[in-house]
């Protein structure tokens, strides 16, 4: 029986999950695939650190024990970040090794360079684990959506923010309160910036949109806006209107223009993504032949993400010839461009004195900026200034920005929240 | 550029969808895959029948124009049923052609024979379109779940029955009324037996469970029970209890024993499958490493199912070496057996006279058969006989059958409905 030897770069949360799966499920994997998979070496920073059931003799602090080991066919990279991951991956390629990575950051930053090197050396680059943990969205896009023009990819692809928004929504608690709890139970980092500012989701969206639209979507084109300014009041008012708040990663391709954006988004309660709560992830695709497809599951964690890594290892080892992307913008096809002045519906919350004439003033500013109001609700709170909520029809982002500036410039008025609304497709 | 020539066996609903996708999306498919796909011939019964935009010169009534055409690399089969599909597929294999099929019936009946022949001739057999239309569940099982022991596969994989149950539930209408409507709008056949008796779902479950559990699951082991006896009253009472009724295809592997069954099933409203309504399909997997995964989308229709066929054509054409199953029971591994005396919770609706002592009698029969009652609700209707609803704890199927016989044997009592309940995992 063929044996595939694997070297790990890193043996942390995801690495140890992948290691345990390859060890504990070796019987089913080998029977099904006809191949034996063996982890022969793992790069760590500190060999003396206790790692439970991970055998000490696997560990090394010398990268070349893996990158230059002629027995190793596949290198699995779990280091995270750009360097030294990039350098190690390139060295693995030069030495004829296929690389499986869980590292969205190195991919989003260095994909063209990595892919060119893999192609040059005839080896494979696989990255199922880099987006949405265990959900097999990358393989689905490559191996099941070939028939389709994908027009929309939309995802809840950051578990931390979904946990925070779900708890704010179901328990009526404030952002800071729920964030503190998420940090306590290990669902949010001590420095939560990457998650709560939408940057983690933006990295993933850059990868997803590139594959879905068959065009390289560099990070610099991905707009991202986090959840730190979301108030429990906005969530509560949205709820009354049948809307659920999510941090959505949205990619759309309309008339050859791509828009990619991560921001808090209201969706109708009946939307397939509205019920995805807690740390669960989901990705929604809209395609011309297949229609809508939704995949949901565990987007993080040692075993789910380990499952994606092992799936890539098995898949990679079975390819006689590795596939590479042929992105449209590699060929300088002119039709691809990026659009930041997208159209959306908006939820706008304005704090205003509770007196006649205010609605007319705000409505006038919206109209002057070509923003059409779909509905309006004025809350009576007994306070001097009350929230007035506007839901708009589809309008352009820049028109909305100008309207908000205009409203903010009127004495006594302030915009307390602007949240994009994604209607059902 | 490489050109792959394809012959179609059949040009009906799914075939014409696949044809239109290959024609209309040729630009994206070819750019992405680097291969040109051309349908060169299609077998039909009647060449003179008008088929809209399908070119008449493609059509033939002679199977060997396709099966013996040396230019044709891939045969796509859309005939349905066992014969002549089986004979044609085998002949295609003998002539060195790979076959893509949307035909669950020929697969469920002849899989071992077909697979053995494909293996012998070194060609491929692909069948994504045979289960759940456009949802890529087959490819996901083979190419993304390799790391996992799958313990449960559960699906809403018949759109007709899901449409009927969804409409009965949301509109409080009767089975016969909604069935007639579904027939009128083309969602149910004139003879709906295959769908409403659970047979269509059973075919699909036989395929899904075989792949998920890595063991051949012949149709004869798949229990199936339809929705024809479901009353709007049962659905309404379940609703009050927070339960949604679905025709579920359930496969479980517990202690080496496989259970496969299709039957009406109550699931909690918060279950990921409860929100799948109308003709949408969904498949839920529970796996040891990945945890829960749900895929949902269009389970039928010309374009969604055509999407699955085209995906198989593209995928098949890229394989240097086709993969074949190595089912555990091919090797006569003794651990695999089938269990029909499964455990479940049950919803039992008993019509009983509204007088003291009845509950004691029923409870006694349940107890005598080792069935433990979780909750009971007695409806006051003003009628002489009233529905009494029992929800049980997990018990064995055979014990439940005996209890129901016992209750039916008491004068004045009758069991008006027994519906299995699938709790959250």
- What is the tens place of the pLDDT at every residue in B140-160? 999 999 999 999 999 999 999
Q: What is the pLDDT of residues A83-120, one digit of tens each?
A: 999 999 999 999 999 999 999 999 999 999 999 999 99
* Per-residue pLDDT at B247: 98
Q: Which residues in chain A touch residue B140, judged by CB atoms under 8 angstroms apart?
A: 136, 139-140, 144
Local confidence band at A332 (pLDDT 50, 70, 90 cut-offs): low
State the alpha helices, DSSP H only, in B122-231. 137-144, 159-171, 175-184, 193-196, 199-213
Q: Which residues in chain A touch residue B22, judged by CB atoms under 8 angstroms apart?
A: 147
Local confidence band at B333 (pLDDT 50, 70, 90 cut-offs): low
* Distance (Å) from the alpha carbon of B303 to chain A's nearest alpha carbon: 5
Query: Is the pLDDT score of A151 beyond 60?
Result: yes
Q: What is the pLDDT of residues B238-283, one digit of tens each?
A: 999 999 999 999 999 988 899 999 999 999 998 989 999 888 999 9
The tokens describing A355, both together, are 């007196």
Note every long-range contact of B235-239, with CB atoms under 8 Å and residues 24 or more positions apart, other chains counting.
Answer: B235/B165, B235/B168, B235/B169, B236/B172, B237/B349, B237/B377, B237/B379, B237/B387, B237/B389, B238/B266, B238/B347, B238/B419, B239/B169
Q: What is the pLDDT of residues A232-282, one digit of tens each?
A: 999 999 999 999 999 999 999 988 899 999 999 999 998 989 999 888 999
Determine whether the interchain pair A146/B314 forms a contact, defined as Cβ–Cβ distance below 8 Å.
yes
The tokens describing A309, both together, are 């890594």
Show which residues of B are catalytic: 204
Which entry of A204, A216, A246, A252 is annotated as an active-site residue?
Answer: A204
Other Cβ atoms less than 10 A from the Cβ of B5: the count is 16
Determine whether the interchain pair B147/A306 forms a contact, defined as Cβ–Cβ distance below 8 Å.
yes
* Distance (Å) from the alpha carbon of B378 to chain A's nearest alpha carbon: 33
With b for 16 or more beta-carbon neighbours within 10 A and e for fewer, the B86-125 pattern comes to bebbbbbbebebbbbbbbbbbbbbbbeebbebbbebebbb
Q: Of A308-322, A354-368, B13-27, give the lowest mean pLDDT range.
A: A354-368
* A204 a catalytic residue: yes
Residues 192-251 of A with CB under 8 A from B: 214
What does pLDDT average to over chain A?
93
What does the alpha-carbon distance between residue A180 and residue B251 come to, in Å, rounded to a whole number? 41
Q: Which residues in chain A touch residue B311, judged by CB atoms under 8 angstroms apart?
A: 143-147
* Distance (Å) from the alpha carbon of B138 to chain A's nearest alpha carbon: 10
- Residues contacting residue B150 through CB under 8 Å, at least 6 positions apart: B141, B212, B213, B253, B285, B286, B287, B288
**Nearest-CB residue to A34 (from B28, B309, B326):** B326
What does the alpha-carbon distance between residue B78 and residue B75 come to, in Å, rounded to a whole number? 10
Query: Is the pLDDT score of B323 beyond 80?
Result: yes
Local confidence band at A359 (pLDDT 50, 70, 90 cut-offs): confident
Q: What is the pLDDT of residues A183-205, one digit of tens each?
A: 999 889 999 999 999 999 999 99
What does pLDDT average to over chain B?
93
Interface probe for A, chosen from B2, B22, B37, B147 (most Cβ of A below 10 Å), is B147
Residues 104-133 of A with CB under 8 A from B: 128
What does the alpha-carbon distance between residue B165 and residue A209 come to, in Å, rounded to a whole number? 37
Q: What is the pLDDT of residues B68-103, one digit of tens each?
A: 999 999 999 999 999 999 999 999 999 999 999 999
Local confidence band at B223 (pLDDT 50, 70, 90 cut-offs): very high
ipTM at complex level: 0.94
* Per-residue pLDDT at A140: 98
- Measured CA distances, B124 to A63, A241, B39, B401 (Å): 41, 52, 18, 45
* Per-residue pLDDT at B377: 87
* Per-residue pLDDT at B36: 97
- Residues contacting residue B21 through CB under 8 Å, at least 6 positions apart: A147, A148, A289, B303, B306, B307, B310
φ and ψ of B35, to 5 deg: -135, 145
- Residues contacting residue B415 through CB under 8 Å, at least 6 positions apart: B348, B349, B350, B351, B404, B407, B408
End-to-end CA distance of chain B: 50
The tokens describing B41, both together, are 């011939």
* Per-residue pLDDT at B359: 83
Q: What is the pLDDT of residues A164-182, one digit of tens each?
A: 999 999 999 999 999 999 9
* Per-residue pLDDT at B423: 86
Local confidence band at B332 (pLDDT 50, 70, 90 cut-offs): low
* Per-residue pLDDT at B425: 61
Query: Is the pLDDT score of B208 beyond 90?
Result: yes
**Nearest-CB residue to B289 (from A135, A291, A303):** A303
* Per-residue pLDDT at B330: 66
Question: Which of B125, B114, B89, B103 is CA-nearest to residue B14?
Answer: B103
Quick one: CA torsion of A108, A263, A165, A173, rounded to 10 degrees?
A: 130
Query: Is the pLDDT score of B391 beyond 70?
Result: yes
Q: What is the pLDDT of residues A26-83, one digit of tens each?
A: 999 999 999 999 999 999 999 989 888 999 999 999 999 999 999 999 999 999 999 9
What does the alpha-carbon distance between residue A227 and residue A161 come to, in Å, rounded to a whole number? 7
Q: What is the pLDDT of residues B12-28, one digit of tens each?
A: 999 999 999 999 999 99
């Amino acid at each position: 029986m063929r044996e595939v030897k694997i070297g790990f770069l890193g043996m942390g949360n995801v690495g140890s999950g992948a290691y345990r799966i390859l060890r504990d499920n070796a019987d089913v994997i080998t029977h099904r695939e006809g191949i034996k998979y063996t982890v022969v070496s793992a790069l760590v920073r500190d060999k003396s650190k206790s790692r439970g059931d991970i055998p000490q003799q696997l560990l090394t602090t010398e990268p070349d024990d893996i990158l230059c080991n002629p027995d190793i066919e596949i290198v699995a990279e779990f280091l995270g970040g750009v360097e030294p991951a990039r350098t190690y991956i390139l060295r693995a390629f030069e030495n004829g090794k296929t690389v499986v990575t869980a590292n969205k950051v190195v991919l989003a930053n260095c994909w063209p360079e990595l892919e060119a090197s893999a192609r040059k050396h005839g080896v494979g680059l696989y990255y199922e684990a880099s987006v949405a943990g265990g959900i097999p969205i990358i393989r689905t896009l490559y191996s099941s959506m070939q028939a389709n023009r994908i027009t929309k990819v939309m995802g809840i692809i950051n578990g931390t923010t979904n946990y925070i928004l779900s708890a704010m929504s179901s328990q009526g608690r404030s952002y800071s309160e729920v964030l503190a709890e998420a940090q306590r139970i290990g669902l949010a980092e001590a420095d939560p910036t990457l998650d709560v500012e939408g940057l983690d989701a933006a990295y993933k969206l850059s990868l997803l949109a590139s594959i879905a639209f068959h065009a390289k979507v560099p990070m610099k084109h991905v707009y991202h806006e986090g959840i730190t300014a979301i108030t429990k009041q906005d969530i509560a008012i949205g709820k009354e209107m049948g809307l659920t708040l999510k941090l959505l990663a949205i990619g759309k391709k309309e008339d050859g223009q791509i828009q990619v954006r991560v921001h808090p988004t209201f969706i109708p309660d009946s939307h397939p993504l509205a019920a995805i709560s807690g740390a669960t992830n989901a990705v929604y695709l809209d395609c011309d032949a297949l229609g809508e497809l939704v995949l949901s599951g565990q987007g993080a964690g040692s075993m789910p993400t380990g499952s994606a890594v092992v799936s890539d290892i098995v898949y990679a080892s079975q390819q006689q010839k590795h596939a590479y992307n042929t992105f449209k913008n590699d060929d300088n096809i002119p039709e691809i461009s990026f659009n930041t002045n997208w159209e959306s519906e908006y939820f706008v919350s304005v704090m205003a004195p509770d007196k006649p004439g205010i609605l007319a003033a705000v409505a006038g500013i919206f109209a002057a900026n070509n923003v059409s109001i779909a509905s309006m609700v004025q809350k009576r709170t007994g306070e001097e200034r009350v929230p007035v909520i506007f839901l708009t029809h589809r309008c352009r982002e820049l028109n909305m920005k100008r309207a908000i500036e205009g409203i903010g410039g009127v004495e006594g008025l302030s915009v307390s929240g602007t949240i994009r609304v994604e209607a059902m497709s």
